[in-house]
Each structure stands twice: as C-alpha cells, then as structure tokens.
Structure 1
Amino acid sequence: MTRAVLVTGGNGQLGRELARHAWPDGWQAVALGRDALDLGDPAALAAAIAAGHDGRPWAAVINAAAYTAVDKAESDVVTAWTINALAPAALAAACAAAAIPLVQVSTDYVFAGDRQGAWQVDDPVGPLGVYGASKLGGELAVRTAGGRSAIVRTAWVVSAGGANFVRTMLRLAADRDQLRVVADQQGSPTSAADLAAALATIAMRLADDPHAPTGTFHFSNAGATDWAGFAREIFRQSATRGGPSAAVEGIATSDYPTPARRPANSLLSHDAIRTAYGIDPRPWDAALADILDELIGVPQ
C-alpha cells in the first residue's frame, strides 16, 4: 500500500520538484498549493494533518512553502511571519500530536553572513532582515513543538521552472549584451531537484526509522561562487546549447541597493547531512547543466 508524504507549497519551484521526484515504489508525494491548503489558517493546517490521505495517516510532512520575497518582506512583515513562522508552528504542533515526522525547509538568511568559511549547523544565527528572522522563527517553532523533525537550510535555489536567478539571467541576456551582477556575495547555487531528492531521503528515513537523525542540517550543491560568477557559468553553458549569452560585469552590493540586506557569505557546510544521512551534494555547475538541458537543450 502506498505511503503518502504531504508537501506544502506545491506551486513553488521546490514543491513542483518534490511532486515530480522519482519516489520509490510504495511512496508518493501529495503536493498541495495555496488554493488547496491555506497556510494562513492554523485550523486548516491542523485538519489537513489529521485527515491523512486515502484513509491513512501521512507518512511524513515536508513544509516546502515559504514567503520568499526578501525585499517585500521588509514592508509586509505580518504576511512574512504568518507564512514563515506561524504556519510551521501550526504544522509542527499538528505533526507532533499525530506522531508524524516533519521536514522543515529553512534558509541561509538565518545567518549574518559576516565571516569566511562555510556555516555549520550550530553556528550562531543573526538574521539581517524580516525574511531571515521569520524563517528563524519557523525553525524555533518546529524545534519546540515536541515532535520528530529535521530542519534543512538551503540557499540560492534554482530550477527550470518558476522565478529564479537562472531564468532571469537567460531572459535578460536575450535582450542585452552586457549585465551588471553583484560579485561580493558568496554562496553555493542549489538545484531544486537535488534539494527535493535530499528532502525525500530524509522524510522517508524519518518515517521508517524512529531512531533516524533529527535536528538541523544544511543542503546546497557543492562548490563556491558569487552571483557574477554564477551568471558567467550560466551564459557559458547556455552558449554551448545555442542559448542566450551576455558579458558580465561584477559590481559591489553597494552599487545595487535593495530594501533588505543580504548575507555576504551564504556558504553552508554539508558535514551534518553527510554524516547523518549519507547525502553528498554534487557540484553546482553539474546541477546547473541539468537545468539548462531542460530549458534550452543538450549542448550542441
């Protein structure tokens, strides 16, 4: 009999990748978008958890829903906190009551980004704005709910669908010969498909093994770059596929002011997820190649 994993945020790029992930036989993801599951309604969230699927309890829940408009969050504080903190609190409480494991997706923005080296899972947090603070609030809610959970922080998520940096660069390059891109923020791009695979692995393990590792983990693809370097690699690979390309001029963050401050260093250590779950992320440029294969086609 098939075991079902509830996925919130079904219309987002991560939710879509979880829905189309190649789950093993006997497993399925039920991805619900905001039209089917109102994250602003704690009672609705609790009811969805209690109802289960096809008469059976959920095997696990993956909360892939988030308010990710980083700049808009600075002025839309209530909505950001509702989606990123209060909704996880309601989900975590309902999951704990039903003894269902919860996988909560979080972000590099919980860190201040003010030092060199990859951030470890137990490093001090220090969000710079409303988005990061609200996501940290979600982490705290999940940790204190009393259920079994895994919090997975990620960064720079991209895919062939939805709004993200890869698609934006390709769109802009179709009309411009040169782009100015921030070059003093360091991080690791993350394929939404690779992240989905990692989350699925964790969720199934938590569902199957009452002693599976819980706590906080990091997942991104391997390797470091900056936004300008990321853009250059997008265009290099795009050109090999006959897609759009542009020259990239690296600029300072101060030359591109935004309402919300960004971490200067978003590198995430993979030590914890590698040790606990044997998940060893592949290089980000290899993951990018798969995305561009889908968007443009294989190299010519």
Structure 2
Amino acid sequence: MILVFGQTGQVATELARLAPDALCVGRDRADLADPDTCHDLILDLAPSGIINAAAYTVVDRAEEEEALATRINGAAPTAMALAAARLAVPFVHISTDYVFDGAGDQPFPPDHPTAPLGAYGRSKLVGEQGVTAAGGTTAILRTSWVFSAHGGNFVKTMLRLGATRDTLTVVADQIGGPTPARDIARACLTMLDGLRASPERAGIYHFAGSPDISWAGFAREIMAQAGLPCAVKDIPTIDYPTPARRPLNSRMDCTTLDRFGLTRPNWREGLADVLTELGARS
C-alpha cells in the first residue's frame, strides 16, 4: 500500500486518481503541524512506499507564519523520512524552485547552491535537508508553477478574471515552467517504483513543464485556448509588489530525470486537458 500525505491538494487529487489503491490522508489523520503524528502513522500503517504531496503553500502568509510553515514544510517531512528509513521503504517528497534565489537566466541544476529569498523557500529547504539527512531511500522532486482543474491556481484565476475583464496586467520578467499536477503525480509514482528497484537512484531531481515561459506568456496561452478575448499586458515584477519576493528565474534543469525514464511534460498539452476538464476550452 502506498501512503500519500495530502488529500485535497492539486497533486494529491491526481495521485488518488492515478493510484486508487493508495491511501491519501488529510489533516484529520496526520496534521503536518504536528510532525510526530506523521511519523507514528507511517510506523502504524507500514506502507510499501510514501509520497508527501502536502505542504504549507501560502507564500505571502509564510512571511508572517514562518515558524508554522517550517513545522509543516520542514519538520513534518523530516519526520516522515525518518519513519520511512526505519521501515526501509522509499519516500518521495515534493519541493519547489523557491529554494533558489532566481538569479541569472540559466536553468538551475539539482546540485546548484540554494539561497531562498523568503520564508516559504527557507521552510522547504529545511524539509529537503531533513529528508536527505534521514538516511533512507528518498527522492526529492522540485517542481514549479503547478496547475490543475482542482484547488486554487494561476490557470483558474486567469479564467475567472479573463471572463469579466477586457485587459489584465501580468508580470513578464518571471520565467519558469508551468507544470500540470497530473504529470507531477505520475512522476512521483514512477520514482517510487524506481527507488524500489534501484535505491541508488535516491537524490534530488527537478521536474517542470516545457517550454519555459513568463507568467504573462502563460496567461496569453490560457486566454487563447479558452477562447477569451481578454488582452494580457506585460508588467515588471516591481510593478506588482507582494509580501514575499518571487524568484525571477525559475528555470530548472530536468535532465537527470532520465534516470527514471522521465522527460519534461508539455504544459500546453496539459493546459488543454485541464481546460477540457473545466469545460473552458474553446
């Protein structure tokens, strides 16, 4: 039995679809703010593999709640990894491009030095460090710009605003790879199987949609595929201030994914599937 931490989030929802026999647990059974409950649940259930698809993801609020974000994103996955190591079962943990500072214009390889810009990135980095230090068979999957037909995300926000406005202003100097949650879920399951077969593949990996694009460019593609006449105007990040700094460069080097037979997903195809599911495709 595969144990999934997360129940209603974007990736967890897709994991439940792709692996209906997996046990997806929410806060009622494992509150990530109480890491010991996560550790004990793993030992009680003794699963054959574990995926952590749960996290504190409210980037701006994390600036005021860094201690809570660090418990959920740092201490909880560390506790999970320690329990997984004790049972000698593989553990896949989802992380983020926010562990980098976003400098330059080249894709970040997995071994690039980390330098988070804010509380959210720092909390996720604590989790990465704890999972690695636990000493088990683990894969950390850093991803970016997640979207799906579920929960709150950029695609759904653009559809809502684009249906009622003639023009939207969207930042154009942040570049990254939009990533369909369904593809992330598939990658997690593939990596879990791969770790069982070849534990030496443990490590940190990057998984992001292709090709890289700006938020403004992504917004234009959403409008085009949805048949919305709303125009998108480019603005720089400085004109859209937020409590937490966003990395300008979220490009990620995903070449080591070939160890698991994985490649970067085409986000335009994933967007078409999401819009179809939402009944929003033109």
- Which residue is equivalent to 1:155? 144
**8 Å CA contact retained: 2:35, 2:71:** no
SS in 2 for 1:87: helix
1:29 pairs with one of 22, 30, 41: 22
Q: Do structure 1's residue 211 and structure 2's residue 204 form an aligned pair?
A: no
Q: Do structure 1's residue 68 and structure 2's residue 52 form an aligned pair?
A: no
- Which residue is equivalent to 1:224? 212
Counterpart mapping for 1:228-267 below 5 A: 228-239=216-227, 244-267=228-251
- Which residue is equivalent to 1:291? 274
SS in 2 for 1:28: coil
In the superposition, the TM-score normalised over structure 1's length comes to 0.91
What's the offset of the Cα at 1:42? 2.6
In the superposition, the TM-score normalised over structure 2's length comes to 0.97
Structure 1 residue runs of 5 or longer lacking an equivalent are none
- Which residue is equivalent to 2:14? 17
What's the offset of the Cα at 1:173? 1.2
Q: Do structure 1's residue 122 and structure 2's residue 111 form an aligned pair?
A: yes
Structure 2 residue runs of 5 or longer lacking an equivalent are none
CA gap of 1:136–1:39, structure 2 versus 1, over 3 A, is same
Amino acid of the structure 1 residue aligned with 2:241? P
SS in 1 for 2:79: helix
Q: Matched residues in 2 for 1:250 and 1:219: separation?
A: 26
Q: Matched residues in 2 for 1:273 and 1:133: separation?
A: 24
Q: What stretches of structure 1 move > 2 A for 4+ residues in a row?
A: none
- Which residue is equivalent to 1:92? 81
What's the offset of the Cα at 1:77? 1.0
Identity among equivalent positions (%) equals 48
- Which residue is equivalent to 2:171? 182
What's the offset of the Cα at 1:297? 5.3
**8 Å CA contact retained: 1:102, 1:149:** yes
CA gap of 1:297–1:178, structure 2 versus 1, over 3 A, is closer
**8 Å CA contact retained: 1:14, 1:64:** yes
What's the offset of the Cα at 1:268? 0.9
2:252 pairs with one of 261, 268, 280: 268
For residues 54-93 of structure 1, give each alpha carbon's deviation from its aligned partner in whole angstroms, at most 9, with x where no partner exists. xxx3111101111010000001111110100010111111
Q: Do structure 1's residue 51 and structure 2's residue 44 form an aligned pair?
A: yes
Q: State the number of aligned residues.
A: 282
Q: Matched residues in 2 for 1:196 and 1:168: separation?
A: 22
Superposed CA RMSD in Å reads 1.3
SS in 1 for 2:3: strand
